[in-house]
A and B are shown apart, each in its own frame.
Chain A
Amino acid sequence: MSADTAGPETLGSLSNEPAPQDPDSQQAKEISGKSPLRIALGRLARDKVAVVCALVVLFFIVCAVFAGTISNLFGVSLDTPLASARVDGLNNNLPKPEMGPPNGPFTWDHPMGVAPRTGQDNMAYWLYGCRVSLMIATTAAIIASIVGVVVGLLSGFLGGKVDKVLSFFIDMFLTIPFLLAALTLAPILNERFNTADNYATIQKFSLVVVLSVFGWMGTARLIRGEVLSLREREFVQAARVMGMPTSRILFKELLPNLAAPIIISVSLMLPAFVALEAGLAFLGIGVTDGVSWGQMILDAATPVYFRDYPQYLWQPMIGVVALVLSLNLLGDAIRDALDPKTRR
């Protein structure tokens, strides 16, 4: 600051301290009236990348929430009257020319075309796939962070034997390769609880279970580290001296101070879960019986369809990539905004 204000003829102010401010000035009021969260939000709003990413994410959320309304608006739906009415059995089961690309011109009846073989409408499937993807990722992220926060709080604050046992479990879950565990667990959960009519629901449910069972360790480690340093702080000691019960210290004193790491870990978990949801469906063990982007990708990635109808692959793929990319960048921006050390 001093270097900017110093004129060319003067040496400038020698101290690094900012000039004392009038506590009633407009600037001082602005500074004192802002909570850390407001400051972070202000930083985010100034970050162009973050704003664009937030808009993209918002677009996907709108698609997911109003999937039904939007499909009605375009006159498309999930159910197919008869596959043979839409696909040409003699031409590799590709859509008939009047159904739009790849063999015909664009048509408003099916803005994104129809799927080969089944003749399902791509747009309806894309919209509902977006809903499934976001629903599974959000639910799993919430559950995983609750588990992670509780484990991290307990092991960091209580220390001793509790910490040893919980840390062992954190390390153990980190040693288990996620994909292999998901591969083993998901089909078994599916078969265990399925009764013909709720198969699609059960698949989503077991996916949420798998993702949250193997997603909580990062948060737990992060929170544990934060708690280890927080618990030595004066306000926690004061609370202890006053005889506050441990549960109250944990949830009323420590938890509000952990808002930043929790927000960061959720925002980094979401894109990972979106990617994994589609990835597991692609391997044939996620949502295979309902609507899912991964399922569409798996179907479209067969050489026959890809050679003649690459748009069919690009639609779900752009969905996954755009959502994951913008969530990732937004997560990074949130982390930077919440970190008081970064100055932009």
Chain B
Amino acid sequence: MFAYVVKRLISGVLVVALVSMAIFLLFWYGPSSPAQTVCDRETSNRCGDRIEIYERTLGYDNPVYEEYGKFVKGVFVGRTITVASNEYECTAPCLGLSFVTKQPVKEALVDRIPATFSVAIGGAFLYLLFGIPIGVAAARRRGTLTDKALVSSFLFISSIPYYLFALLTWLYLTITFEIPFFSNTGYFSPITEGPWAWFSGLFLAWVALGIFGCTQYTRFTRGAMVEALSEDYIRTAKSKGLPTRTIVYKHGLRAALVPVVTIFGIDFGTLLAGTIFTERIFEIQGIGWWSLQAVQNRDLPVVMATALFSAVVLIISNLLVDIVYSVLDPRVRLS
């Protein structure tokens, strides 16, 4: 077990290193010069020869390995960044300064994490809240019209691309019907702006995410439940005369939940790593929204930070899922 975790962590570190190198290389050898976009914006498209100054400030006149070395050093021990004669002491883990706002990326990242995590936690909660009971209900009524109607309508919903589903939800509820509760979507801090603003701002995003995502859980729960209910121990429980409720929820669902929990773990990790479409459509200024902005602005430090953040979150969550799975199901051996 311990050896397995260490092995997975090493390969995770390797992946993160490769991803960061790939991004650096892309920015260095990609477009004309990453400094160009910054320079164009700050001189209102009269960049001309001033590009050299910008390249020097942003470090693009150095070879790529030197800048990458600086970046890595910053992450582990911190470094001092000089921007236009201002020195900025960047402590480890240093992710640099944004090209656009000239603000430290690390603080901005920490500021945006609550928004993305709020979306992810609320959405994931609704996945389970809708998905599991409906799946259990469908499995108990297997073969009936209710079951068929549920399964086929959920198959239909899950075949629609998610962003179109979310877009329609937003357009109809806030634009066409102008429901006041949904009118102001976005992220509001529960502490400074009150929990109600936070709740109503995110509610629509949760519902869209939850209804779309729960279809998958209904399918999985139904499949696992059908299998579990046909096991011998369920027949034993029935013949002992246990009440149906106990049989279904205590004996059936407990066994059926193990694979569902695994998939949930992976999905939750993906949500935490950034919900770009949700944040873009509902105007929630979280990590996904930020990375979209950064890519459009060619803001290397921010792109780097968001990409590394997602990769790290995904790697850790996948590892945790595997460990939890081996705890839940003793037949699974990690090796």
Contacts and interface: CB of A to CB of B under 8 A. Distances in A.
B159 A328 contact: yes
Contact of B15 (A175, A187, A282, A310): A175
Given A175-B314, A320-B161, A320-B164, A192 B30 contact: yes
A184 B307 contact: yes
Interface string A326-340: 001100000000000
Interface stretch (B19-27, B132-140, B239-247): B19-27
A184 B23 contact: yes
Most central of B32, B159, B307 by chain A CB within 10 Å: B159
A297 interface: yes
A172 B291 contact: no
Contacts of B292: 183, 283
B116 interface: no
Interface of A is mostly: helix
A171 B314 CA distance: 12
A180 B280 CA distance: 13
Interface in A277-293: 278-279, 282-285
A184 B23 CA distance: 8
Interface in A160-195: 168, 171-172, 175-177, 179-181, 183-185, 187-189, 191-192
A243 to B, nearest CB: 36
B11 to A, nearest CB: 7
B120 to A, nearest CB: 13
Interface in A291-334: 297, 301, 303, 306-307, 310, 313, 317, 320-321, 324-325, 328-329
A285 B295 contact: yes
A324 B30 contact: no
Interface residues of A, number: 39
Given A175-B15, A180-B276, A321-B161, A185 B26 contact: yes
Contacts of B159: 271, 324-325, 328-329
Contact of A184 (B32, B155, B303): B303
Contact of A183 (B32, B167, B276): B276
Contact of A179 (B155, B167, B276, B296): B276
B156 interface: yes
B92 interface: no
Nearest to A168: B11
A279 B162 CA distance: 9
B218 interface: no
Contacts of A187: 31, 295-296, 298
A181 B276 CA distance: 12
B31 A183 contact: no
A301 B171 contact: yes
Nearest to B168: A317
A278 B161 contact: yes
Interface in B240-282: 270, 273-274, 276-277, 280
Contacts of B291: 180, 183
Contacts of A168: 11
Interface in B300-335: 303, 306-307, 310-311, 314-315, 318
A310 B119 CA distance: 28
Contacts of A329: 155, 159
B274 A279 contact: no
B227 to A, nearest CB: 16
B160 A321 contact: yes
Contacts of B171: 301, 303, 306, 313
B295 A183 contact: yes
Contacts of A181: 307
Interface string A254-273: 00000000000000000100
A192 B36 CA distance: 13
Nearest to B27: A188
Nearest to B19: A176
B18 interface: yes
A143 interface: no
A222 to B, nearest CB: 18
A177 B295 contact: no
Contact of A177 (B161, B296, B311): B311
A293 B180 CA distance: 31
A76 to B, nearest CB: 25
Given A179-B276, A181-B307, A188-B30, 13 more contacts: A172-B15, A176-B19, A177-B274, A183-B292, A191-B32, A279-B277, A282-B167, A283-B277, A297-B164, A297-B167, A321-B160, A321-B164, A325-B156
Interface of B: 11-12, 14-15, 18-19, 23, 26-27, 30-32, 155-156, 159-161, 163-164, 167-168, 171, 175-176, 270, 273-274, 276-277, 280, 288, 291-292, 295-296, 298, 303, 306-307, 310-311, 314-315, 318
Sort A-B residue pairs by CB-CB distance and give the 6 closest, nearest first.
A191-B31, A188-B30, A275-B161, A328-B159, A325-B159, A183-B295
Interface of A: 168, 171-172, 175-177, 179-181, 183-185, 187-189, 191-192, 271, 275, 278-279, 282-285, 297, 301, 303, 306-307, 310, 313, 317, 320-321, 324-325, 328-329
